[in-house]
Amino acid sequence: MNKITIAIDGYSSTGKSTVAKQLAKHLGYIYVDTGAMYRAVTFYAMQNELINVDDFNKEALIYQLPQIKISFKFNESLGFAEVYLNDVNVEKKVRSLEVSSFVSKIASVSEVRRKLVEQQQVLGKDKGVVMDGRDIGTVVFTDAKLKLFMTASAEKRAVRRYDELIELGDHVTYNAVLKNVKERDHIDTTRKDSPLVKAEDAIIIDNSNLTLVEQFDKIAQLAKMIIEGVE
């Protein structure tokens, strides 16, 4: 059976990674969480004191980019690949609100984007990949056979993110999470390099009122149709 590339883009906390993981498992494809890569670079900047309150040392980060190695290792018990920074598992650490608060700024640095996009293209070169992010259908794989653009109201997304963070043991308020969601939307859609926009040929999935099962069924059906069509 022919393998295709599936690009899932959209706003933060729209459940891109949940559906991408489900779909990859269902199809026997590789799943690549590109947000985790930007988060890992942000975590590196935090650890190396390149971030100071709400500013960061862009020149030093660019200079140190060659020594930032991001990789993924499949975790059998979780059923997906976890992100590693210089061979250390940082999967949980990169999900903190602290990293979330800064990641959009780091992701707007063109040199960071260039490095990560190159790596993403290598990871997906053999097709059979589900990749989620902000620029997968518009920059990384413009020829992806299935492109989805996920959206939901900011309030719905903040509730989901808040629940996730509380479960991870983070002490946050709903209002702080909602503020972060809106700030990230703003930075992601207005940055100069590869802003978040819907690819012309992407299908919009608004999951404000869809259950996870409904959403998965809809997307799995779309993927099936396209995969059968390219046989």
3-state secondary structure of 56: strand
The count of C-alpha atoms lying within 13 angstroms of the C-alpha of 128, restricted to the half-sphere facing its C-beta, is: 9
CA–CA separation, 163 and 68 (whole Å): 31
Residue listed under structure tokens 């190396």: 48
**Site string (150-189) toward ligand DC, x via CB under 6 A:** ----------------------------------x---x-
Stretch that binds ligand DC, among 56-64, 70-78, 128-136, 175-183 (CB under 6 A): 128-136
Least separation, in Å, of the C-beta of 197 and ligand DC?
Answer: 12
Segment 24 to 53, residues that bind ligand DC, using CB under 6 A: 34-35, 38-39
CA nearest to 99, candidates 179, 180, 17, 42: 42
Q: Tell me: does residue 12 bind ligand DC (CB under 6 A).
A: yes
Residue listed under structure tokens 């959209």: 10
Stretch that binds ligand DC, among 18-26, 59-67, 127-135, 198-206 (CB under 6 A): 127-135
The torsion angles phi and psi of 204, rounded to 5 degrees, stand at -80, 130
Least separation, in Å, of the C-beta of 223 and ligand DC?
Answer: 20
Least separation, in Å, of the C-beta of 161 and ligand DC?
Answer: 9
Q: Tell me: does residue 104 bind ligand DC (CB under 6 A).
A: yes
Give how far Cα 193 sits from Cα of 98, 185, 200, 207, Å. 23, 15, 18, 27
Contacts of 92 (CB under 8 A, 6+ apart): 168
Stretch that binds ligand DC, among 67-75, 102-110, 211-219, 220-228 (CB under 6 A): 102-110
**Binding residue for ligand DC (CB under 6 A) from 23, 103, 123, 165?**
103
Contact footprint for ligand DC (CB under 6 A): 12, 34-35, 38-39, 103-104, 107, 133-135, 184, 188
